[in-house]
Amino acid sequence: MSEYCKGCGVKLQSEDPKALGYAPSAESEYCQRCYKMRHYGDVTINMQKGIAVEQTLGKINDLDGTVFWTVDLFNLESNLVPHLNRRLPGKNIVLVLTKRDVLPSTLTDDKLRRYVSRRLAEEDIHVEDILIAGYMTKKSPKSEKILEEIEETADSFGEHKNVIFMGMANSGKSTLVNRLLDSTDLTISRNPGTTLDVISREWKGRTLYDTPGLENDKSVLSQLPTDQLKTVIPVKPLKPCIFQIYEDQSFAAGGLARMDVVTSGKASVVGYFSLSLPLHRGKLADADRLWNEHLGEMLAPALDSSMDTMAVWHAPKLKTGQKMDVVIQGLGWFTVSGDIRSVTVYAHKGIQVTFRKAMI
């Protein structure tokens, strides 16, 4: 039996079928969990809340190489790692923005780069370079060019040319490693928490490391049951859902978040969510009744069938001409603009809501 699972890096064992790393046969290169994920898309052991962030960062600090920090553009806010430079002392960090294909093509790469640079400055995070990646699920000239760019960037670090992929769970690390190696060895899944330990592979005279995803427990992705994650994780390019409003309205993103908008004239609300997440819009005056009667049914998916477990967030006042994103971490965002008096958001306790300057 190989010592470690080829797909997720976990230590293989043949004693306990219920524990991680179980492989029924001595010839297995993969653990049973990887086998099921790879062949049936079946997640038997959910590792959404699995590995401690500090433990993974500790292992990364022990590796020699440049950190390629993957950030899923759709989940920019929940993918930012607070105090990153302090937590990876002495490491060069290159930011790799992943899943570019999910964002609308009307948003240019230049604008995206400027936007992210500003957000990093606000968070006091310093990176050596910003690469824009995406289109990785299929081979194409576009994705090949991005892989070349990653290779060139790694080379520019001379003696630190080993590449350590690091980032939040589900941000696309293993997909990038597989693409660089032109292989399908590493297990990839649409659920967070797939890779369980550091995996190393030799690649063109250097070592390539894949690492377990860091968990953000304030994101919908860490809280929603695995069978419902497919509703909220976008796989196709986002189609903005545009609403013009002339009276006070309430918006529901499934049963996971509610946004009440009080207007003093005319306003606009644009939703950027997975196409499979139902968005509802209705009169604000009727919203309490709707939520009390339909949470968990028409308003689904939901984390709870009662509104009692929702926290209230008040958006900062919108200045004239300003566009603001109301981000529900792990779920998506609403962009609001126009004559707005107030924006109030309800989200299940534990889910972080962030207000930021509009990205798109």
Q: Which residues contact 44 (CB under 8 A, 6 or more apart)?
A: 32, 33, 36
Please state the closest distance from residue 17 (CB atom) to Mg ion, in A. Answer: 23
CA–CA separation, 90 and 86 (whole Å): 9
CA–CA separation, 351 and 8 (whole Å): 28
Selected from 79, 171, 195, 335, the binder of Mg ion by CB under 5 A is: 195
101 binds ligand GTP (CB under 6 A): yes
Q: Residue type for 206, please?
A: R
Number of other CB atoms surrounding residue 240 within 10 Å: 12
Selected from 189, 219, 231, 263, the binder of ligand GTP by CB under 6 A is: 189
Stretch that binds Mg ion, among 125-133, 192-200, 244-252, 330-338 (CB under 5 A): 192-200
Exposed/middle/buried for 97, CB within 10 Å: 0-12, 13-18, 19+?
buried
Centroid of chain to Cα 22: 28
Please state the closest distance from residue 157 (CB atom) to ligand GTP, in A. Answer: 22
162 binds Mg ion (CB under 5 A): no
Selected from 71, 81, 95, 102, the binder of ligand GTP by CB under 6 A is: 102
Residue 156's closest CA among 116, 128, 127?
128
Looking at the Cβ atoms of 318 and 331, the one nearer to ligand GTP is 331
Binding-residue pattern over the window 168 to 187 for ligand GTP, x denoting contact by CB under 6 A:
-xxxxxxx------------
Selected from 9, 21, 65, 193, the binder of ligand GTP by CB under 6 A is: 193
3-state secondary structure 141-188: HHHHHHHHHHHHHHHCCHHHCCEEEEEECCCCHHHHHHHHHCCCCCCC
Selected from 9, 21, 65, 213, the binder of ligand GTP by CB under 6 A is: 213
Selected from 188, 253, 269, 310, the binder of ligand GTP by CB under 6 A is: 188
Q: Which helix (H) or strand (E) holds 129?
A: strand 129-132
344 binds ligand GTP (CB under 6 A): no
66 binds Mg ion (CB under 5 A): no
136 binds ligand GTP (CB under 6 A): yes
Stretch that binds Mg ion, among 63-71, 98-106, 167-175, 272-280 (CB under 5 A): 167-175
194 binds ligand GTP (CB under 6 A): yes
Structure tokens belonging to residue 227: 């069978």
Instruction: Name the H helices within 81-140.
Output: 84-87, 109-122
Residue closest to ligand GTP when measured from CB atoms: 213
Please state the closest distance from residue 293 (CB atom) to ligand GTP, in A. Answer: 35
Q: Residue type for 326, please?
A: V
- Cα dist from 46 to 15, 193, 226, 317, whole Å: 20, 7, 7, 40
70 binds Mg ion (CB under 5 A): no
Residue 125's closest CA among 80, 77, 68?
80
Look up tokens 């524990």; give the residue: 19
Positions in 229-248 near ligand GTP (CB under 6 A): 235
Positions in 252-311 near Mg ion (CB under 5 A): none
Partner touching 197 among Mg ion, ligand GTP, none, CB below 5 to 8 Å by kind: none
User: If you count DSSP H runs as helices and E runs as strands, how many of each does the chain have, helices first?
Assistant: 10, 14
Selected from 46, 61, 137, 207, the binder of ligand GTP by CB under 6 A is: 137
Selected from 79, 143, 174, 263, the binder of Mg ion by CB under 5 A is: 174
Residues that bind ligand GTP (CB under 6 A): 98-99, 101-102, 134-137, 169-175, 188-190, 192-195, 212-213, 235
